[in-house]
Amino acid sequence: MKILLLSLSLSSSSTQKSSLWVFSSSHFSNHKKIECKRPRSSMGNLACIPKKELKGGIGSKSKRSSRKMAAEEELIHRQALAMAIQQHQLSQRFEGSMSRRIGSTSSRRHNLSDRFSSKQVPLDLDNLETKKIVLVHGEGFGAWCWYKIIPLLEEAGLLPVALDLAGSGMDHTDTNSITTLAEYSKPLINFLQSLPDDEKVILVGHSCGGASISYALECCPNKVSKAVFVSATMVSNGQRPFDVFSEDLGPAEAFLKESQFVLYGNGEDRSPTGLMFDKEQMKGLYFNQTTPKDIALAAVSMRQIPLAPILEKLSVTPENYGTVSRFFVQTLDDRMLSPDIQERLVRENPPRGVYKIKGSDHCPFFSKPQSLNKILLEIAGFNTAGLAENEMIDREKDV
């Protein structure tokens, strides 16, 4: 199994560097095969330090160079991802063989049918407008979070690509230097602009990644076939991504003054630059239905959230943003973006289709990957030309 990760990073000059990563589980057993440097993670560092490195106590001075520490932390990340991939593959084989051997009761069908749901959505690959799906992560995540979804889409014959936005995943941009949504979304825009003139993609954005794909629809509408917002900030013109969360978090100005999770990367006398929830807060908000293994992966992989992009008012127009068919995926056990808020987003900015996943937390790529895969396959094969201008489809996945 191979996972395609595209990391585009911007240097301090205007020169752009791009790297194409193809990961497989075998790569992680010999880490010398992949030569890349990963920025320090903001979570879970202490729990992953070998015992021999703790002999001097937490306060002892380390003689290791920062380069060596970054390399070791990168290795930790790859090992965690390799373990998660291997566990996912083993669980698929085990449950598949058990269901064939034992047969199915109604409860077993309910629990296992979703495991193989991608086979229940046949695609006419020759008649698809595009086979390429670009997966855009949400705040703090990276391309790594799609590791369960990518092989499922590939199995169906599609071509998934997962991107790292600026300051995320393996992108080396300093998150404290990101001051606009355009800077944050630059890797996505660069990728779209690099496509051949006649090629389009399906954009999939999670959480605050919804702002990035909205920005992409405005900048490159001719490159996008459809846009899928997965429990995402599908905001209207003039709204800020943060406004979506304001019902729970309060007004942005008050939150920035009172929150203990706000970071001042450029000094406390200057504007805040980032946001980082602690591990328990993240688990409660994002991962209330996610397995411990995926929570552990997130703990060593998530990075600081750049604050400026989610505080910026989005500017979109009917002539660009409005020409692309949008779909919204609701997650019904979501504690980060509540179902009520998701319903409000759909009412205020109606998409062409709405899908609902029961039992999913804010991260269905972890908690309900098969359900999310089934929805993405259905959207990929969906012909919007058959819908009237104001007609909407509504699907609920009872899994």
**pLDDT above 50: residue 152:** yes
What is the DSSP code string of 102-114? H---HHHHHHHGG
Averaged pLDDT, 247-269:
81
Rounded CA separation 233/236 (Å): 9
> DSSP assignment, residue 221?
G
**pLDDT above 50: residue 266:** yes
Return the residue matching tokens 């380069």: 67
Give catalytic residues, as residue numbers. Answer: 207, 334, 362
Model confidence at 245, in pLDDT bands (50, 70, 90)? confident
Rounded CA separation 184/6 (Å): 15
**pLDDT above 60: residue 18:** no
Highest mean pLDDT pick, 60-64, 86-90, 182-186, 387-391: 182-186
Task: Give tens-digit pLDDT for 20-41.
Answer: 443 433 333 333 333 333 444 4
Q: In this structure, are residues 200 and 225 in contact, taking their beta carbons and an 8 Å threshold?
A: yes
| SS3 state of residue 349 | coil
Rounded CA separation 57/357 (Å): 46
What are the structural domains of the chain? 2-53+64-397 (3.40.50.1820)
Cα distances from 24 to residues 39, 80, 91, 143, 365, in angstroms, run 21, 13, 17, 14, 18
By mean pLDDT, which of 56-60, 67-71, 177-181 is the weakest? 56-60
pLDDT of residue 12: 35
pTM (2 d.p.) = 0.73
Element containing residue 154 per DSSP (H, E) = helix 149-155
Higher pLDDT, 246 or 59: 246
Length of the chain counted residue by residue: 399
Q: Give the whole-number percent of the chain exceeding pLDDT 90.
A: 55
What is the rounded radius of gyration, in angstroms, for the C-alpha atoms of the chain?
21
